[in-house]
Chain A
Amino acid sequence: MRIIKDTNIQFMSQYKLGAFLSGAVIILGIISLILAGGPLLSIDFKGGTLIAVHFEEPVDVNEFRSAMSNVNIEGQSFDFSKAEIKLFGSPQDISVRIPHLDQEPENFAQKIVSHLRNSFSSKVSDTDSDFILSIEKVGPKIGAELSNKAILAIVSALGLILFYISIRFEFNFALGAIAALTHDVFVTLGIFSIMGYEISLPIIAAFLTIVGYSLNDTIVIFDRIRENIKSLKRLSYTEVIDKSINDSLSRTIVTSITTFIVVLILWLFGGEVINLFAFAMMIGVIVGTYSSIFVACPLVLRLHARNK
């Protein structure tokens, strides 16, 4: 069975369409990022407390919100009704995110949990292990460190990749690959911002996986170009690139479909914790495949034309 027969699509002449499409998505994303005041960062980077609890029967988010409006901890009352409260995967599970407080009482999270237990006593299991789904508490110091480390990781990964591709191919190719994966990360970041999803530590892992996937895809095509330049000397550079993309198109489609199936299933059935990770990966697979053809290759072509 073959999905793609021998094709001869002139991808390089379509670069304007690609530039328009990418430009539009990225600009939308940037507008959304500016409006939101930067990416929505999780408590991993900002510090704060995230509590997720499980009720024996569905609880209305508004009811939960009003229960959070007057939390009494050691006689000091707090209003957390403005905190981010949302369903956590199912109508019986709710999570609340509270920003870091300057003078947090001790065992702060545990006390909120017991407040919730009292407020919804009829709907809560007797044992804490059935009630508490998760508690995450990150100090602001750790948060700042994690964001620095994340930036450091991405920059150093890009640097090393640039170095490796420059050695194995040419510097132009390295620039093309970097442009493609930067494009992918920006598009994903923009879509996350538009959807109002937050960036947590696992999402950074997803971004790096997208970087890896996008590179993998780009390099398979570059590899073809490198091979075809040697064997097809009479073709123009544009023709070589087009032919290389067509040659590897079958593989590109098959791999993208299989990978997409896996992350789609993970997104649909993987559960709350992994849901956003899978979503990022899904966008990454689509954008990564697209950017190899419509970002990396046109850039290599341009750089080549300029060098002549």
Chain B
Amino acid sequence: MSKNLTPRYIVIGLVLAWALMTLWPSVKYQMLSPSDIEEMREMGTLESLENDIIKQGLDLKGGIYIVLEVDLPTLVSTLAINKDSKFEKTLSDVRKSLAENTQQDFFTVFANSVSTNGLRLPRYYDVDYGAKPDDILASLNEQADDAINRVLEILQNRVDQFGVSEPTIQKQGNRRIIVELAGIQDSDRARSLLQSTAQLEFCLVKSPEVTNDILSQIDNLVQDNEQLESLVATINEDYESADSDELGVSDDKTVSISELFGDDAETSKDTSDTSVVVDQNIFQERPFSSLLRALGNDIAVPEKNLYAVKKIINRQEILDKLALGNGQFLFAPSAESFSTNDGIDEKLVNMYYLEKDADLTGGVIEEANATIGGQGTSAVGQPIVLLDMNSEGARTWSRITGANIGRRIAIVLDKKVHMAPSIRTKISDGGTMIEGFAGMDEAKDIAIVLRAGALPAPVNIIEERIVGPSLGADSVKRGTNSVLLGLGLIIVFMFIYYKLSGSIANFALIWNILLVLSVLASLGATLTLPGIAALILTVGMSIDANVIIFERIREELRKGKSVRSAIDGGYNRALTTIIDANVTTLVAALVLYQFGTGPIRGFATVLFWGIIISMFTAIFVTRTIFNSFADRKGLKKLSI
């Protein structure tokens, strides 16, 4: 009967040693103080340690989870040439159909819509895309794949620069990217950096004269439209009353056109206005302009007026007006605080009137770096951005810069104007220097924006989850405490109910948890809150396996069998039960893993390994221990 148990103990010992070794870095990391961590970061040893520890999910550590999707209709439209109303109609049909049923594949819908509208694809796409419609669709599909891969690369590049310790950026399916930034504090900056993955364009800023002209045209149009005028009037009232209530300023805040362009404005017709500023009149004559502010050479919109301004400039009659002048109004990405003459801080968003068509798109940029201006340049010691373009871009750039010296050109990403530097000289080789940044951070952000330019389609955020660090910390603390408490109660219960055998089960339980954690650590898996829940379920499974075995052994003992044969009989009979029961749960875990995203996947991973390990523990580890009890000569009674 007695088998040599030594090999079994060696296996158990080796597994235990492996588990402890794998878990050691996590324990070590937990014991580090923040200053130790900082020190290790400086020494560069932190990363290797972080690679070996159990990663905590966003729900435990706090952080941002974002799902991005490439805007395919825009991609297809950007790549097309000779676009006409038929093409636009087809695309808008596709957009409508996709909005109604979100589960459809874009290219299937597009192909259907192309055939129902009788659209001849070769008309709209260069021969490079193929001669037959099917070839064109296939190439567009390739372009879409390529676009998502570029976004992926750019995001990786960008997020690395952002300095998050363990960013996860992965592709989900063919069209989506999941970005996870754990432990990040400044969610706004991260978000805007991620989101600004889109089209980069250089658009010339229209001259002040042209801008003034369009503003007064809009003023006239607004005056002719009672609805709009009343909207503007209420906003101005709100604005003034809010100001006087909150800030104790009762003065009229409307501005004249001359104020709008400050003293620098070299327009003759406006200087005449300055002399006869009567705010009341200005408001009546220039209802639209009265919503705006002058900011040096720029126009700005107080954040409170932004909605009204956008609403006005998106009216069809105004859009028509803008189209006539081939212009567009675009805004800065965010509001900034400025002190007005009265010394009051006001949040303003810059607004620009630009040429409608981009003079150059971001695809031509090969390199963009933020650095400090060297000796002999005009920006010694100041942060600057250096750009390089490919030969095609450099040619266009040379023509644009040559023809527009003194004018400003806006750097537009995602229809947001990030800055609008003036063109000093003709740049013939593409090598461009941008100066005038408030600080190195701003220069770096602009360089990143410039590098992102090579994307033919914008990217939309379709899912976003932010967990604040305090909720994360709270979850960890409570989760850990309840696991420990539950564990403690089970251990006590098992000991009372099954005595010595119960202690063996308890040993198995703790070993089980250690082993699951070390598997997680070595797989580089992430522990999430549902993961902790799965760990608890694993505890249940592990206990259940032992309970099944113990009850069987008790039954065998009640039948009057010897300890040895009761153990053998109990284990053999329990084995099929345990396997059948666990395999079915394993099936559930695998399906969950397959279907799951983020947190659910974490749950499934822990459950999967938990079941496998608990089967191993119940069948192999505790069996070995029981056998060595049974092998003792003269053992008449089993403590169970």
Contacts and interface: CB of A to CB of B under 8 A. Distances in A.
B635 interface: no
Contacts, number: 244
5 closest pairs, A vs B, by CB? Answer: A75-B307, A271-B478, A153-B595, A139-B462, A212-B585
Given A75-B235, A258-B490, A145 B103 contact: yes
B638 to A, nearest CB: 14
B268 interface: no
B485 A157 contact: no
Contact of A74 (B185, B307, B468, B588): B307
A103 to B, nearest CB: 11
A101 to B, nearest CB: 14
Contact of B591 (A208, A219, A222, A257): A208
B148 interface: no
B586 to A, nearest CB: 9
A135 B466 contact: yes
Interface string A194-216: 00000001101110110111011
Nearest to B498: A1
Contacts of B400: none
23 contacts: A74-B310, A128-B468, A129-B185, A132-B468, A133-B470, A134-B465, A136-B464, A136-B466, A137-B464, A139-B461, A140-B102, A152-B595, A164-B583, A208-B592, A209-B534, A254-B497, A255-B543, A258-B547, A259-B543, A262-B486, A270-B478, A270-B482, A281-B533
B584 A216 contact: yes
Interface string B576-589: 11001111110111
Contact of A273 (B59, B308, B463, B498): B59
A138 interface: yes
Given A220-B548, A270-B479, A273-B529, A75 B306 contact: yes
Given A107-B191, A130-B470, A220-B581, A1 B547 contact: no
A52 B481 CA distance: 23
Interface residues of A, number: 84
Given A168-B580, A277-B530, A136 B465 contact: yes
Interface in B46-85: 59, 62, 67
A259 B585 CA distance: 15
A156 B467 CA distance: 32
Contacts of B584: 161, 164-165, 212, 215-216, 219
Contact of A144 (B102, B485, B534, B594): B102
A202 B530 contact: yes
Nearest to A247: B555
A266 B533 contact: yes
A142 interface: yes
A164 B235 CA distance: 68
Contact of B529 (A72, A257, A274): A274
Nearest to B594: A153
A201 to B, nearest CB: 6
A250 interface: yes
Interface in A195-254: 201-202, 204-206, 208-209, 211-213, 215-216, 219-220, 222-224, 227, 247-248, 250-251, 254
A160 interface: yes
A273 B551 contact: no
Given A142-B463, A220-B548, A134 B485 contact: no
A252 to B, nearest CB: 9
Interface in B457-504: 461-471, 474-475, 477-479, 481-483, 485-486, 489-490, 493-494, 496-499
Given A144-B103, A270-B479, A216 B470 contact: no
Residue of A74, A136, A150 most packed against chain B (CB within 10 A): A74
Nearest to A210: B588
B103 A273 contact: no
B165 to A, nearest CB: 16
A9 interface: no
Interface in A58-99: 72-76
B479 to A, nearest CB: 6
B529 to A, nearest CB: 6
A74 B497 CA distance: 66
A215 B490 contact: no
A259 B543 CA distance: 9
B591 A156 contact: yes
Contacts of B471: 52, 54, 133-134, 273
A299 interface: no
A277 B310 CA distance: 44
Contacts of B536: 262-263, 266
Interface string A115-145: 0000000000000111111111111111011
B603 interface: yes
Contacts of B387: none
Residue of B477, B541, B577 most packed against chain A (CB within 10 A): B577
B587 A161 contact: yes
Interface string B246-274: 00000000000000000000000000000
Interface in B525-541: 529-530, 532-534, 536-537, 539-541
Contact of B187 (A128, A227, A255, A257): A128
B149 to A, nearest CB: 21
Contacts of A136: 464-466
Interface in A257-306: 257-259, 261-263, 265-266, 268-271, 273-274, 277-278, 281
B591 A160 contact: yes
B310 to A, nearest CB: 8
B226 interface: no
A251 B486 contact: no
A8 interface: no
B468 A150 contact: no
A224 B308 CA distance: 74
A227 B541 contact: no
Nearest to A139: B462
Residue of A72, A76, A211, A220 most packed against chain B (CB within 10 A): A220
Given A129-B185, A156-B591, A164-B583, A262 B102 contact: no
Contacts of B592: 153, 157, 205, 208
B600 interface: yes
Contact of A205 (B185, B477, B499, B603): B603
Nearest to A53: B468
A148 interface: yes
B631 interface: no
A156 B537 CA distance: 22
Residue of A130, A137, A258 most packed against chain B (CB within 10 A): A258
Interface string B310-321: 100000000000
B478 A269 contact: yes
Contacts of B532: 274
Nearest to B528: A202
A153 to B, nearest CB: 4
Contact of A54 (B470, B482, B583): B470
